[in-house]
Homo-oligomer: A and B are copies of this chain.
Amino acid sequence: MGFKLIKEDKRSSARLGKLKTKHGTIQTPCFMTIATCGSVKSLDSIEIKKLKAQIVLGNTYHLYLRPTDTLIKKFGGLHKFMNWNGPILTDSGGYQVFSLAKMRKITEEGAKFQSHIDGSCHMLTPEKSIEIQNNLGSDIIMVLDECAPYPAEKKYIADSLELTTRWALRCKKYFDKKNIKLKKNQKALLFGIVQGGTYKDLRERSAKQLLEIDFDGFAIGGVSVGEPSEKMLNAVDWTVPLLPENKPRYLMGVGKPEEIVASVARGVDMFDCVIPTRNARHGTIYKFKTRSEKIKITKDPEKFYEIMHITNEKFKSDKKPIDNNCKCFTCQNYSRAYLRHLFCAKELLALRLASIHNIHFYLELMRKIRNSV
A→B interface (CB under 8 Å): 37-39, 41-46, 62, 66-67, 71, 74-75, 81-83, 316-317, 319, 329, 333-335, 337-338, 340-342, 344-345, 347-349, 351-353
Q: Which residues of B contact A345 (CB under 8 A)?
A: 37-38, 62, 66-67
B74 lies within 8 A of A349 (CB): no
Q: Which residues of B contact A319 (CB under 8 A)?
A: 75
Name which residue of chain B comes closest to A355, CB basis.
B348
A41 lies within 8 A of B347 (CB): yes
Name which residue of chain B comes closest to A281, CB basis.
B348
Q: How far is the CA of A66 from the CA of B319 in the complex (A)?
A: 16
Q: Which residues of B contact A335 (CB under 8 A)?
A: 75, 81
Q: Which residues of B contact A44 (CB under 8 A)?
A: 329, 333-334, 349, 352-353
Name which residue of chain B comes closest to A43, CB basis.
B349
Q: How far is the CA of A42 from the CA of B316 in the complex (A)?
A: 21
Q: Which residues of B contact A334 (CB under 8 A)?
A: 44, 83
Q: How far is the CA of A8 from the CA of B252 in the complex (A)?
A: 67
Q: Which residues of B contact A46 (CB under 8 A)?
A: 329, 333
28 residue pairs of the A-B complex, CB under 8 angstroms, read: A37-B341, A37-B345, A37-B347, A38-B338, A38-B341, A38-B345, A38-B347, A39-B342, A41-B347, A41-B348, A42-B349, A43-B349, A44-B349, A44-B353, A62-B345, A67-B316, A67-B337, A67-B345, A71-B316, A71-B317, A71-B337, A75-B319, A75-B337, A81-B335, A81-B341, A82-B338, A83-B333, A348-B351
Q: Which residues of B contact A38 (CB under 8 A)?
A: 338, 341-342, 345, 347
What is the minimal beta-carbon distance from A53 to any residue of chain B, in angstroms?
15
Of A44, A62, A329, A344, most B-chain CB atoms within 10 Å:
A44
Q: How far is the CA of A98 from the CA of B337 in the complex (A)?
A: 29
A352 lies within 8 A of B348 (CB): yes
Q: How far is the CA of A24 from the CA of B220 in the complex (A)?
A: 58
Given A37-B347, A46-B329, A81-B338, 17 new contacts (CB under 8 A): A37-B342, A38-B347, A39-B342, A39-B349, A41-B349, A43-B349, A44-B329, A44-B352, A67-B344, A67-B345, A71-B316, A74-B317, A81-B335, A81-B341, A82-B338, A83-B334, A348-B351
What is the minimal beta-carbon distance from A23 to any residue of chain B, in angstroms?
17
What is the minimal beta-carbon distance from A148 to any residue of chain B, in angstroms?
28
Q: How far is the CA of A348 from the CA of B347 in the complex (A)?
A: 12
A45 lies within 8 A of B352 (CB): no
Q: Which residues of B contact A81 (CB under 8 A)?
A: 335, 337-338, 341
What is the minimal beta-carbon distance from A312 to any residue of chain B, in angstroms?
14
Q: Which residues of B contact A333 (CB under 8 A)?
A: 44-46, 83
Name which residue of chain B comes closest to A65, CB basis.
B345
What is the minimal beta-carbon distance from A336 to any residue of chain B, in angstroms?
11
Which of B66, B74, B75, B347 is in CB contact (< 8 Å) with A39?
Answer: B347
B71 lies within 8 A of A344 (CB): no
